[in-house]
Chains A and B, each alone.
Chain A
Amino acid sequence: MPYRLLPDVALADIAFEAESKTKAGLFESCARAMTDVMVDRRGVRRKVEKTLTLAGDSLDRLLYDFLTELIIMKDVDSLLFRDIRVVVAGDDRSLSAILRGEPIDRKRHALRNDVKAVTMHMFGVKKHGGTWTTTVVLDI
Chain B
Amino acid sequence: MPIPESTRQISEVSWEIPTTFKPGMNVPARVYASRKLLEGMDDGVFEQLTNVACLPGIVRHAYAMADAHWGYGFPIGGVAAFEPENGVISPGGIGFDINCLHPDSKVYDGDGTWTKISELDARTQGFITYDPSGGRLRRTKSILKESRWESGALVKIRTKAGKTLLATADHPVQTRRGMVPAGDLSLEDQVVSSGFTGYPRSSPAGIELVSAETLNQAMDKMGITGAGNARGLVMNQLRRRGLDRILLNDPKVSQLLKLLGFIFGDASIPRVKKGQYVSFFGKAEDLLDIKLDLAEIGFESHSYSRQRHHRMNTKYGTSEFDFKEDSLYSSSTAFAVLMVALGAPYGKKASVEYRLPRWLFASEDWQKRLFLAAYFGAELSTPTTVNGYDFQMLLFSVNKLATLEANAKELVADFTALLGSLGIESTEPTRVEGYDYAGVDGLSIGVRAGVLSNVKNLLGFLSKVGYLYNRGKQRIASLAVSFIVHNESIREERNAVRLKAIQTYAAGVGASKTVESLSTPTAGPSFIRHSIWSSRGKARVWQSTKFEQYCSEREAGKTGLIFDSIDSLESVPYEGQVYDVTIGDPEHNFISDGIVVSNCGMRLISTSLRYSEVRPKVKELVDLMFRLVPAGVGVKGTLRITESQFDEVMRYGVKWCAENGLAWKDDPGHVEEGGFIKGADPSKVSRQARSRGIDQLGTLGSGNHYLEIQVVDPARHFDKDLGQKFGIVHDDQVLVMVHCGSRGFGHQIGSDYLRVFDGAMRKYGLAVRDRELACAPFSSKEGQDYYGAMVCAANMAFTNRQIIVQKVRDAFSQVFHRDAESMEMRLVYDVCHNVAKVERHTYDGTTKELLVHRKGATRSFGPGHPDIPSPYRSIGQPVIIGGSMETGSYLLVGTAKAMEDTFGSTAHGSGRTMSRTAAKRTVRGADLQRKMLERGIYVKAATMDGLAEEAGMAYKDISEVVETMDRAGISKKVVALRPVGNIKG
A7 within 8 A of partner (CB):
yes
| Contact A116:B917 (CB < 8 A) given known A12-B69, A57-B179, A121-B72 | no
A113 within 8 A of partner (CB):
yes
Q: In the complex, A128 Cα to B841 Cα: how many Å?
A: 51
Residues of A within 8 A of B76 (CB): 12
A57-75 interface code vs B (CB 8 A; 1 in, 0 out) = 1000100110011011011
B945 within 8 A of partner (CB):
yes
Residues of A within 8 A of B913 (CB): 11
| Contact A104:B750 (CB < 8 A) given known A89-B177, A89-B178, A116-B597 | no
* B632 and A111 contact, CB distance less than 8 A: yes
Q: In the complex, A106 Cα to B945 Cα: how many Å?
A: 15
Q: In the complex, A5 Cα to B772 Cα: how many Å?
A: 21
Q: In the complex, A7 Cα to B954 Cα: how many Å?
A: 13
Q: In the complex, A37 Cα to B770 Cα: how many Å?
A: 25
Residues of A within 8 A of B917 (CB): 5, 7, 14
A120 within 8 A of partner (CB):
yes
Q: In the complex, A75 Cα to B635 Cα: how many Å?
A: 7
B703 within 8 A of partner (CB):
yes
Residue of A5, A72, A137 near B688 (CB, 8 A) is A72
* B178 and A56 contact, CB distance less than 8 A: yes
* A91 and B178 contact, CB distance less than 8 A: yes
Q: In the complex, A121 Cα to B945 Cα: how many Å?
A: 24
B633 within 8 A of partner (CB):
yes
A13 within 8 A of partner (CB):
yes
* B915 and A7 contact, CB distance less than 8 A: yes
Residues of A within 8 A of B748 (CB): 68, 72, 117
Q: Which of B911-953 contact A (CB under 8 A)?
A: 912-918, 921, 942-943, 945-946, 949
B650 to chain A, nearest CB (A): 17
Task: Write the chain A residue with the least CB distance to B920.
Answer: A7
* A104 and B633 contact, CB distance less than 8 A: yes
* A93 and B916 contact, CB distance less than 8 A: no
Q: Which of B376-411 contact A (CB under 8 A)?
A: none
Residue of B633, B751, B770, B921 near A39 (CB, 8 A) is B633
A52 within 8 A of partner (CB):
yes
A140 within 8 A of partner (CB):
yes
| Contact A53:B133 (CB < 8 A) given known A10-B915, A75-B634 | yes
B498 within 8 A of partner (CB):
no
Q: In the complex, A114 Cα to B372 Cα: how many Å?
A: 49
Q: In the complex, A45 Cα to B647 Cα: how many Å?
A: 36
The listed residue with most B CB atoms (<10 A of its CB), out of A69, A117, A118, A137, is A117
A131 within 8 A of partner (CB):
no
A94 to chain B, nearest CB (A): 4
Residue of B179, B702, B772, B918 near A120 (CB, 8 A) is B772
* A117 and B633 contact, CB distance less than 8 A: no
Q: In the complex, A140 Cα to B945 Cα: how many Å?
A: 13
* A53 and B135 contact, CB distance less than 8 A: yes
Residues of A within 8 A of B515 (CB): none
* B916 and A121 contact, CB distance less than 8 A: no
A1-15 interface code vs B (CB 8 A; 1 in, 0 out) = 000010111111110
Task: Write the chain B residue with the least CB distance to A38.
Answer: B633
Residue of A61, A116, A120 near B598 (CB, 8 A) is A116
Q: In the complex, A12 Cα to B72 Cα: how many Å?
A: 11
Residues of B within 8 A of A38 (CB): 633-634
Residues of B within 8 A of A89 (CB): 177-178
Task: Write the chain B residue with the least CB distance to A68.
Answer: B751
* A116 and B703 contact, CB distance less than 8 A: yes
Q: In the complex, A68 Cα to B703 Cα: how many Å?
A: 18
| Contact A69:B133 (CB < 8 A) given known A12-B704, A117-B751 | yes
* B985 and A114 contact, CB distance less than 8 A: yes
Interface size of B as a range: 35 or more
Q: In the complex, A83 Cα to B713 Cα: how many Å?
A: 51
Residues of B within 8 A of A74 (CB): 633-634
Q: In the complex, A124 Cα to B772 Cα: how many Å?
A: 12
B364-381 interface code vs A (CB 8 A; 1 in, 0 out) = 000000000000000000
Residues of B within 8 A of A52 (CB): 133
Q: In the complex, A71 Cα to B633 Cα: how many Å?
A: 10
Q: Which of B955-985 contact A (CB under 8 A)?
A: 985
The listed residue with most A CB atoms (<10 A of its CB), out of B597, B634, B743, is B634
A49 within 8 A of partner (CB):
no
B703 to chain A, nearest CB (A): 5
B151 within 8 A of partner (CB):
no
A69-89 interface code vs B (CB 8 A; 1 in, 0 out) = 101101110101000000001
B636 within 8 A of partner (CB):
yes
Q: In the complex, A53 Cα to B174 Cα: how many Å?
A: 14
Q: In the complex, A116 Cα to B344 Cα: how many Å?
A: 49
Q: In the complex, A140 Cα to B598 Cα: how many Å?
A: 10
Q: In the complex, A104 Cα to B702 Cα: how many Å?
A: 15
Q: In the complex, A7 Cα to B917 Cα: how many Å?
A: 5
A90 to chain B, nearest CB (A): 9
B78 to chain A, nearest CB (A): 14
* A114 and B701 contact, CB distance less than 8 A: yes
Residues of A within 8 A of B171 (CB): none
B862 within 8 A of partner (CB):
no
* A139 and B72 contact, CB distance less than 8 A: yes
Q: In the complex, A12 Cα to B943 Cα: how many Å?
A: 17
* B72 and A78 contact, CB distance less than 8 A: no
B427 within 8 A of partner (CB):
no
Task: Write the chain A residue with the least CB distance to B42.
Answer: A11
Q: In the complex, A121 Cα to B751 Cα: how many Å?
A: 12
A91 to chain B, nearest CB (A): 6
Q: Which of A118-138 contact B (CB under 8 A)?
A: 118-121, 123, 137
A46 within 8 A of partner (CB):
no
Residue of B177, B772, B918, B949 near A93 (CB, 8 A) is B177
Residues of B within 8 A of A9 (CB): 915
* A94 and B178 contact, CB distance less than 8 A: yes
B380 to chain A, nearest CB (A): 33
| Contact A140:B696 (CB < 8 A) given known A7-B917, A71-B744, A120-B772 | no
Q: In the complex, A5 Cα to B309 Cα: how many Å?
A: 58
* A111 and B943 contact, CB distance less than 8 A: yes
Residues of A within 8 A of B943 (CB): 110-113
Residues of A within 8 A of B770 (CB): 121
Residues of A within 8 A of B750 (CB): 117
Q: In the complex, A75 Cα to B702 Cα: how many Å?
A: 13
Task: Write the chain A residue with the least CB distance to B774.
Answer: A120
| Contact A121:B747 (CB < 8 A) given known A11-B69, A11-B70, A114-B702 | no
* A11 and B135 contact, CB distance less than 8 A: no
B691 within 8 A of partner (CB):
yes
Q: In the complex, A104 Cα to B633 Cα: how many Å?
A: 8
Q: In the complex, A94 Cα to B189 Cα: how many Å?
A: 14
Residues of A within 8 A of B747 (CB): 116-117, 139
A14 to chain B, nearest CB (A): 6
Task: Write the chain A residue with the least CB distance to B694.
Answer: A76
* A139 and B772 contact, CB distance less than 8 A: no
A54 within 8 A of partner (CB):
yes
Residues of B within 8 A of A80 (CB): 634
19 A-B residue pairs with Cβ-Cβ distance under 8 Å, sorted by A, are A11-B70, A38-B633, A55-B133, A55-B179, A65-B133, A72-B692, A80-B634, A93-B178, A94-B177, A110-B943, A113-B633, A113-B702, A113-B916, A114-B635, A118-B751, A137-B72, A139-B72, A139-B597, A139-B747
- Inter-chain pairs besides A9-B915, A93-B180, 11 sampled, C-beta below 8 Å: A10-B915, A57-B179, A68-B751, A76-B691, A91-B177, A112-B945, A113-B633, A113-B945, A114-B703, A114-B985, A140-B703
Going nearest first, the 7 A-B pairs with the smallest beta carbon separation are A7-B917, A55-B178, A114-B702, A93-B178, A94-B178, A117-B747, A116-B747
B residues lining the A interface (CB < 8 Å): 42, 69-73, 76, 132-133, 135, 177-180, 597-598, 632-636, 688, 691-692, 696, 701-704, 743-744, 747-748, 750-751, 754-755, 770-772, 774, 912-918, 921, 942-943, 945-946, 949, 985
A residues lining the B interface (CB < 8 Å): 5, 7-14, 38-39, 52-57, 61, 64-65, 68-69, 71-72, 74-76, 78, 80, 89, 91, 93-94, 104, 106, 110-114, 116-121, 123, 137, 139-140
